[in-house]
Amino acid sequence: QVQLVESGGGLAQPGGSLRLSCAASGFTFSNYAMSWARQAPGKEREGVSCISLRDGTTYYADSVKGRFHISSDNAKNTVYLQMNSLKPEDTGVYYCAADSSGVPVMTDDTTWYDYWGQGTQVTVSS
């Protein structure tokens, strides 16, 4: 049974930091590409960052480049998203997703991915 479980969301002040985690189980983690996407109220889900678990290649949306950092610990079957210099527009539900192609692709197409987590709420507000 495949599971992706996100954690680490919460309330942060503008300029603050949060670290999200996504624990995976039920599939061969190291063969996949993993992504983080977010959905703000009333908006479409958008890709934020992705990583190849084979070679560590990473990509970022322009809106988070230089502020967010994606990483993985293959021994723990976990992918992380370190979010720094948070802005109110970063508010939303953050999801992790797994792609069996293993090739990291920045896309807003939710059908691209094989598995999704349940999401974790991030709120950036003073």
Report the b/e string of 16-55 with b at 16+ CB within 10 A.
eebebbbbbeebebeebbbbbbbeeeeeebbbbbbbbbee
> Mind listing the pLDDT tens digit for each residue in 72-93?
999 999 999 999 999 999 999 9
**What pLDDT is attached to residue 24?**
96
| Surface-to-core class of residue 64, CB atoms within 10 Å of its CB (0-12 exposed, 13-18 middle, 19+ buried) | buried
> Mind listing the pLDDT tens digit for each residue in 30-61?
899 999 999 999 999 999 999 999 999 999 99
